[in-house]
Each structure stands twice: as structure tokens, then as C-alpha cells.
Amino acid sequence: MGKTFFEELNNESATGVAYKNLNLKKSILGYFANVSDATIADLAKELNISVPKMTAVLNDLIQDGIVQDYGKVESKSGRKPNLFGLLPESAFFIGVDINQRYINVALSDLQKNLVKVAEKISYKLENNKESLETLCQLINTFIKELPIPKDKILGIGINISGRVNYATGYSYSFFNFSEEPLSKIIESKVGIKVFLENDSRAMAFGEFSSGIVKGEKDVLFLNIDYGIGLGILINGQLYYGKSGYSGEFGHIPLFDNEILCHCGKKGCLETEASGWALARMVKQKMQEGSSSILFEEKGEGEEIQMEDVIKAANNDDVLAIELIAEIGGNIGRGIALLINIFNPELVILGGSLAQTGEYIRLPIKSAINKYSLSLVNNDTQLRLSQLGKHAGIIGACLLVRKRLLSLH
């Protein structure tokens, strides 16, 4: 049986001319994927290849069914050049974004188009085999209902919170009950190659590839939710660290308090700057007898959730706004530290709590100004996430795409 184009593309044994041609093909696909569609002249100039050679290779790629001639394109005068780019329907990728109470699943084509999106599918994330089994079933169901043949789906990207080693496929915070890496287990149940990724990192990649990032290369993405995660982009590349555990920002020892964190330590940033901390503060305020629309709607024994506080703030509830400002101040102190260390061009606020918009952005901004060196923080823009709750799912799809195209 002949190899598929993508297997051929990653053929390690090629040497000499064959190797150079493969490399050139990768560069062309990389240009299409990362930069834009292009004319023969563009590509020839950019990749330092003569026009006749480029023409030949492009024709090859069209033969391979991976590149498309988009036809004539505007130019100042004279004969108009043809534009070439990836053939969208030549390959597909699935992204899965796992949350505590639901999952999001989406299908993307080769040109980043989201072909199908299924959001907020009910699912309870628990650290046991049944929960894992259910997850696989949900993914299989999604695949079965797709209007495309399964073998066109080249890979599945799965976001999961906690420590994930994407290179080995092990997850340490969830579903870690087997010798085999989690990615292999899911792979065997679904029948498609699986790539795991930390949730905040995937979101960061989503924002970077098709969100708020416009050319910035050194970018920090904060996933402010029940916990607080960090995705780091350095020189346009996701940063992993030795084993992929980078970005454990929620557990830096920034406070001198006695609040015990999930991680077992005290004084973590998360204890004073997260959705979890927000819920704790609200509860305390209620006990102290503060007034708020938050306390009126809830029944006996019903717990107030982070989502309720976000909704209340967006409805101008003073207590909610005050508490979010307090949380924001603490997060801002954490970000100030990141700015001193990274001198980033851009910091993106994402995750559920970023949905409160300026209510959280402004106190964060103030704290940054207070706690970081001004020469450094003058360099740094602070923007709200553009993709919002879609960041994870988009990032998951695009990360698989990136891996399978062996883009750098």
C-alpha cells in the first residue's frame, strides 16, 4: 500500500535531491499555512528558488492533492498572477476542549476553517476510567456524524488542564492510571492519532494563530478561570520547558497567607487570584451580611459559583465588581512579575473571568503599573482575549494542524 502524502512528507530516510525536494515542499506548505496564499513569484522570491523550479514543485503539490490554484488575483497592471494555497478539504483535524462540566469539539479543515463546532456537550470530568470511556464515546459520536470520510481526519488535539507532557502523551493530573500514555489509549479507542495539550497553552496558540495577536512574537496568555493558567509564546513558538510543565503560574508562592491550595501548598497565587478565590470571597461577604443581587436569587444551601459573580458584575452589581477588582489587583501583581521577567510585547487576558472585560482589565492594569518597572511595562500591551470561550477549541484544532504539517 502506498504511503499517503503526509506520511511521505515526514519520511526521514530521504537524502540528496529527494530530501531537498521534501524540504522545499514543507517550506511551501509552511508558507501557505503560516503566512498566506501566494503567487509563484512570491514564493520564488521568499524561498530563494527559481521560478521554473517553483512552478514544477507547485504542480507536484497540486498533483498530490494538497495545493490548489485559486485563480487570478488583483495586481497593479499587466497580466495578473495566479494565487496558490492549501486545498482546504484535503485534510481535516479535530479539536477537543475538556472542561469540568462539558466538552467542546470541532472539526477544522486544512485552511483553518471550522467546518463543524459542537459546544457545551454535557460531560463530567472525573478522574476515573468511566469518565475517560465516556469522553472517547463522545468523540466517536462526533466523528460518526461528520459528512467527511474518517481517513481524511489526520489527527485529534485534546486540551486538558493540569500537567501534560505533549511529547510523551502522558497526562499527570487526569486519567493517569495506566502504564501506557493517555494519548495512546485514546488513540486506540478512536482510531485517529491523538495529541494532548495543556488547556492554557492551547488557548494561547488559538489567540496567537487566529485571535488578538497581530505579529507580536513574545506573548503571554492568561487563562483566568477557577484556576489560573499561563501560555507562553516566545519568538512566535509555544514554550514548553523540559517536560511540558511550563506555565504553572497559579502555584507560584506570591502570598503570605494560610489558605491551603489544591496543590497542597500555601500562599499560591491561585489562593487570592482566581475564580476559586472569588467564590471564597463572595461566600465570606455573604456571611458578613453584605448585600448583592447575588444573594437574592440563590435558594437555601445553593452555592454561588464563579459564573454567577461574572453575570452579576456584567449586570452592574457593586459587590461583584468590587470583588473582581480585588482579584484583578492580585492577578495584576502576578502579571507585573511576569512582565519584569519576560518583557513581553503583549499580555492577553483570557478564560471565563476575562468575560468581565474592563471590570477585570483595569485593576489588572493598575497593579501592573504599580508593581513592575515602568520602562519595561511601557513595552507591554494588555488586551482581552478575542476568541473568548472558543480559544481552546480553535487552539486544539490548529495545534494538530501545525504538528501534522510539521510546521515550525
How many residues bind its own copies (CB under 8 A)? The answer is: 50
Residue 172 touches which of its own copies, DNA, none (CB < 5 to 8 A by kind)?
Answer: its own copies
The residue (of 82 and 406) whose beta carbon lies closer to DNA is: 82
Residue 336 touches which of its own copies, DNA, none (CB < 5 to 8 A by kind)?
Answer: its own copies
Q: Which position among 2, 12, 50, 258 is part of the footprint of DNA (CB under 7 A)?
A: 50
Residue 357 touches which of its own copies, DNA, none (CB < 5 to 8 A by kind)?
Answer: none
Stretch of 14-22, 176-184, 201-209, 352-360 lying at the interface with DNA (CB under 7 A): 14-22
**63 lies in the site for DNA, by CB under 7 A:** no
Beta bridge partners of 159: 97, 197
**For residues 213-272, which are near its own copies according to CB under 8 A?**
218, 230, 232, 234-235, 237, 239-249, 251-254, 256, 263, 265
Give the residue among 122, 109, 117 at the shortest CA–CA distance from 145: 117
**379 lies in the site for its own copies, by CB under 8 A:** yes
Dihedral through CA 125, CA 128, CA 129, CA 130, nearest 10?
Answer: -60
In angstroms, rounded to a whole number, what is the distance separating the alpha carbons of residues 325 and 220? 21
The residue (of 22 and 115) whose beta carbon lies closer to its own copies is: 22
Give the residue among 390, 393, 304, 394 at the shortest CA–CA distance from 354: 390
Please list, in sequence order, all residues whose beta carbon lies within 8 angstroms of the beta carbon of residue 177, skipping any fewer than 6 positions away. Answer: 128, 129
Residue 341 touches which of DNA, its own copies, none (CB < 5 to 8 A by kind)?
Answer: its own copies
Binding to DNA by CB under 7 A, coded x per residue (else -) over 68-107, reads ----x--xxxxxxxx-------------------------
Q: Which position among 50, 77, 122, 287 is part of the footprint of its own copies (CB under 8 A)?
A: 50
Query: Do 157 and 400 form a contact (C-beta atoms < 8 A)?
Result: yes
**49 lies in the site for DNA, by CB under 7 A:** yes
Query: Do 13 and 31 form a contact (C-beta atoms < 8 A)?
Result: no
**52 lies in the site for DNA, by CB under 7 A:** yes
In angstroms, rounded to a whole number, what is the distance separating the alpha carbons of residues 395 and 17? 35
The residue (of 52 and 357) whose beta carbon lies closer to DNA is: 52
Q: Which position among 3, 4, 10, 20 is part of the footprint of DNA (CB under 7 A)?
A: 20
Beta carbon of residue 89, minimum distance to DNA (angstroms, whole number): 22
Binding to its own copies by CB under 8 A, coded x per residue (else -) over 29-48, reads -------------------x
**C-beta atoms surrounding 180 within 10 Å:** 11
Stretch of 47-55, 97-105, 245-253, 396-404 lying at the interface with DNA (CB under 7 A): 47-55
- Which residues of the shown chain bind its own copies in the complex (CB under 8 A)? 15-16, 19-20, 48, 50, 163, 172, 218, 230, 232, 234-235, 237, 239-249, 251-254, 256, 263, 265, 333, 336-338, 340-345, 370-373, 375-376, 379-380
